[in-house]
């Protein structure tokens, strides 16, 4: 998977159709639901973070669950940090089903990262559909709910992928920050890269399957909290808007 991930940034610029920023989706929802005055905002549900006011950032993990994911979940629980997990089927969901259940039970967003991690832009439409549908069904079996979000491997997407994800009720989520943790086991470097790129309304991409990543997360959380960030899931980042199936979201 590390070799596949290495081309991700090039793929983002080469293959991605038009994208929507989560913050723009949120702003449009506020305007549509307001009272017609400039800047009017929808009243959010009790306890829901208003990222139009708060300095929000979303922490996301790809490719798991893995052997270190329970340790990560322990940390997130202690720090009261919600995250979004884009889960991979083969050798991950099928190997750690109890961890998938725990992720959902502890209030994190469970999302789809395909079954075999293929480049979706290089396979046939029926194969794309099978990759996503198989993962959807297994996550639903374990958690009781189908995901509403997916992340295309390497960020590679196109109009065909968009059509199929719309059909399946899945919004696509890319990222604004990557530590390239597939290329190093140096937790300090992973932390440094993440903090250098972090910004308001951003989406951080990490992988809970690589040796250096989980040990880097405590320092990332501490530093971003100190800088005034509020951690949210990807759907919370765009609330009161709801992720639109087929849409490609990129901060």
Q: Which of 143, 65, 58 is nearest to 106 (CA)?
A: 143
Residue 33: CA count within 13 A, CB half-sphere: 14
Rounded to whole angstroms, the Cα distance separating 154 from 161 reads 13
62 is catalytic: yes
Catalytic residue from among 62, 181, 201, 208: 62
Q: In this structure, what are the phi and psi dihedrals at residue 31, rounded to the nearest 5 degrees? A: -65, -45
Rounded to whole angstroms, the Cα distance separating 235 from 213 reads 24
Catalytic residue from among 108, 113, 117, 207: 207
Rounded to whole angstroms, the Cα distance separating 161 from 19 reads 13
207 is catalytic: yes
Q: Which of 75, 118, 74, 66 is nearest to 93 (CA)?
A: 66
> What residues are labeled active site?
62, 207
């Amino acid at each position: 998977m590390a070799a596949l991930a290495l081309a991700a940034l090039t793929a983002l610029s080469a293959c991605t159709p038009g994208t929507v920023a989560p913050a723009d989706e949120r702003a449009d929802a506020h305007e549509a639901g307001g009272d017609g005055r400039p800047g009017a905002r929808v009243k959010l549900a009790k306890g829901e973070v208003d990222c139009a006011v708060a300095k929000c950032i979303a922490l996301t993990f790809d490719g798991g669950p893995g052997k270190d994911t329970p340790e990560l979940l322990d940390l997130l629980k202690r720090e009261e940090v919600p995250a979004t997990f884009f889960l991979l089927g083969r050798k991950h969901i099928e190997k750690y089903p109890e961890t998938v259940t725990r992720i959902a039970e502890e209030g994190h967003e469970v999302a789809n990262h395909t079954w075999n991690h293929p480049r979706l832009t290089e396979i046939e439409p029926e194969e794309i559909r099978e990759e996503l549908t198989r993962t959807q069904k297994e996550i639903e079996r374990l958690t009781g709910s189908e995901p509403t979000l997916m992340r295309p491997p390497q960020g590679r997407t196109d109009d065909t992928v968009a059509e199929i994800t719309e059909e399946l009720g899945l919004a696509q989520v890319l990222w604004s920050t990557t530590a390239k943790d597939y290329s190093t086991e140096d937790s300090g470097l992973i932390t440094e890269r993440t903090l250098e790129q972090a910004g308001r309304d951003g989406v951080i991409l990490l992988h809970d399957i690589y040796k250096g990543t989980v040990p880097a997360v405590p320092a990332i959380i501490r530093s971003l909290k100190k800088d005034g960030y509020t951690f949210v899931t990807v759907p919370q980042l765009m609330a009161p808007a709801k992720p639109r199936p087929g849409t490609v979201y990129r901060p």
